[in-house]
Amino acid sequence: MHHIPLNKLKQDYYYRVRAQIDPKHAIIGKYKAHFKLWYKNPRCDASNIVSVIEKLAMDGLQLYKVLKEDNVQHYIGATWEVIGKDIETPRVELEITEVKG
């Protein structure tokens, strides 16, 4: 993807991330992520969708200081699952869990 449309995509996504977060709940230590996918098209490639969402979400959460880092010292695991079909509102929901200790 050319850098201009890619940057526009990132900025739009970061704006959407910002609208759904509470920066008071920052995670400083280790954490895991879980992605839930509701698809529109049953022929979609779930792992491709989740991987793009994961990258943009983690970068956006760092930008707004909800997450300190997304390197291996902090971001220690991710899982995803397909929840089902939703033609009207296909989406990916993200749950982040802080890992104590």
pTM: 0.85
HSE-up (13 A, CA, CB side) for residue 74: 13
Q: Is 13 helix (H, G, I), strand (E, B) or coil?
A: helix
Q: Give pLDDT tens digits for 73-101.
A: 999 999 999 999 999 999 999 999 999 87
User: In angstroms, rounded to a whole number, what is the distance separating the alpha carbons of residues 10 and 32?
Assistant: 22
Q: Average pLDDT over the chain, rounded to whole?
A: 90
Residue 37 CB-density burial (10 A; 0-12 exposed, 13-18 middle, 19+ buried): buried
Residue 1's pLDDT is 64
User: In angstroms, rounded to a whole number, what is the distance separating the alpha carbons of residues 55 and 85?
Assistant: 23
User: What are the structural domain ranges in the chain?
Assistant: 3-99
Residue 4's pLDDT is 78
- What topology is assigned to 3-99 in CATH? 60s Ribosomal Protein L30; Chain: A; (3.30.1330)
